[in-house]
């Protein structure tokens, strides 16, 4: 049986496709991992990927991906996968999510992978019924081929979860391991929201015993406010599972009340709806 703690990418014995019972999605999420080498262009301190390295994925075997997804859906929809592997309360498919061991859009084949997923879903009469999600750090939205993939995902009735954890460059460097420029993040988010329904996903926690400051909260709200009418909302979440990075011991979960208070502040200052998962 898969449990909500079982987020191993190899739980179905496949290369690209991994089912998880997702806390966020509330059922079985069919994950698509393009980053089979655990390489990401970011290095978030809370990342749950073991043996995370910097870089991009190896070439994607698109036919293999298509076959794996077809085979898995055949077992999940027509076979006994749910009975064999999933607790009774979670026996329904929630989404197909590009969410792997690294940044999915860094694969040059990303747009083609989205197209293949759409093709398979159409074959199972699930296109437009089973949402296709992209969990991304949004850093590559300036690439035309990434935009093409997201546009297509939007046409499939899908949505994007776009990571913004901290706005201040120093904090972003500490939390995400990259140098971010707020204007570029804004531009990429704006672009993304124009292509597909876009949620901002934000991981909020204390680092080295320090809760993000009032200035950090203010900068975050100011960045997002101008896009309020174009965003689907914000997912604000705490440290759901332990970090697999060397910095793990420097992270502390915040009390649920603190996350709720920040969610209220965001909503009050920006008008954007916020869902909280402490
Ligand atoms: S962007 Fe995602 S996969 Fe990449 S380091 Fe951050 S949490 Fe890990």
267 or 240, which is more confident: 267
Cα 56 to Cα 52, 100, 185, 191: the distances in Å are: 11, 12, 20, 22
Measured between alpha carbons, how far is residue 269 from residues 24, 134, 187, 228, 272 in Å? 25, 27, 20, 10, 8
pLDDT above 90 for 145 = yes
Cα dihedral 167, 170, 174, 178, rounded to 10, equals 70
- Ligand 1, residues 18, 33, 45, 49: which to mutate, most atoms within 8 A of Cβ? 49
Query: Is the pLDDT at 21 greater than 90, yes or no?
Result: no
Q: Where is average pLDDT lowest: 8-12, 21-25, 98-102, 129-133?
A: 8-12
Residue 99 Cα to ligand 1 middle (Å): 9
Question: Could you tell me the fold of the domain covering 17-276?
Answer: TIM Barrel (3.20.20)
CA distances from 51 to 97, 228, 240 (A): 22, 37, 19
pLDDT (mean) for 94-110: 96
Q: Are 234 and 199 in contact (CB under 8 A)?
A: yes
pLDDT band for 237, please (50, 70, 90 cuts): very high
Among 40, 161, 174, 244, the mutation site with the greatest number of ligand 1 atoms within 8 A of its Cβ is 40
Residue 97 alpha carbon to ligand 1 centre in Å:
15
Structure tokens at 171: 């904090």
- Sign, CA dihedral 132-84-37-51, equals positive
CA of 122 to the centre of ligand 1 (A): 30
How many residues in total does the chain contain? 278
Note the pTM of the prediction, 2 decimals.
Answer: 0.94
Residue 100, beta-bridge partner list = 102
- The continuous run of DSSP H or E covering 201 comes out as strand 198-203
CA–centroid distance, residue 151 to ligand 1 (Å):
22
Under the banding of pLDDT at 50, 70 and 90, the label for residue 25 is: low
pLDDT number for residue 261: 98
Atom of ligand 1 nearest to the CA of 35: 3
Taking CB atoms and a 6 Å cutoff, what residues make up the pocket around ligand 1?
Answer: 40, 42-44, 47, 49, 52, 102-103, 137
| Of the listed ranges 26-30, 129-133, 184-188, 189-193, the one predicted with least confidence | 26-30
Query: What distance in angstroms lies between residue 101's CA and the mean position of ligand 1's atoms?
Result: 7
Q: How far away, in angstroms, is 137 Cα from ligand 1 center?
A: 7
pLDDT (average), residues 38-62: 96
Residues 69-101 have pLDDT tens digits of: 999 999 999 999 988 888 888 889 999 999 989
Write down the mean pLDDT value for the chain: 93
């Amino acid at each position: 049986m898969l449990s909500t703690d079982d987020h191993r990418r190899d739980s179905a014995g496949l290369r690209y496709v991994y089912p998880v019972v997702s806390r966020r999605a509330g059922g079985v999420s069919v994950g698509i991992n393009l980053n089979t080498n655990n390489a990401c262009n970011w290095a978030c301190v809370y990342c749950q990927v073991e043996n995370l390295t910097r870089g991009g994925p190896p070439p994607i075997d698109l036919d293999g991906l298509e076959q794996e997804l077809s085979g898995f859906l055949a077992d999940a929809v027509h076979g006994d996968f749910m009975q064999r592997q999933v607790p009774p309360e979670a026996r329904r498919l929630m989404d197909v999510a590009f969410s792997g061991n690294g940044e999915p859009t860094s694969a040059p084949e990303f747009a083609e992978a989205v197209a293949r997923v759409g093709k398979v879903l159409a074959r199972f009469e699930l296109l437009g019924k089973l949402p296709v999600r992209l969990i991304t750090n949004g850093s590559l939205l300036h690439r035309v081929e990434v935009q093409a993939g997201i546009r297509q995902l939007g046409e499939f009735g899908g949505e994007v979860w776009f990571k913004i954890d901290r706005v201040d460059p120093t904090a972003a460097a500490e939390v995400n391991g990259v140098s971010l420029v707020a204007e570029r993040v804004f531009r990429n988010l704006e672009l993304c929201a124009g292509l597909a329904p876009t949620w901002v996903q934000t991981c909020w926690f204390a680092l080295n015993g320090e809760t993000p400051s009032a200035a950090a909260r203010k900068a975050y709200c100011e960045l997002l406010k101008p896009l309020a009418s174009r965003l689907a909302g914000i997912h604000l979440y705490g440290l759901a599972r332990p970090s697999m990075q060397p910095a793990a011991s420097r992270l502390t979960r915040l009390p649920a009340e603190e996350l709720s208070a920040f969610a209220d502040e965001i909503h009050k200052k920006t008008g954007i709806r916020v869902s909280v998962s402490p």
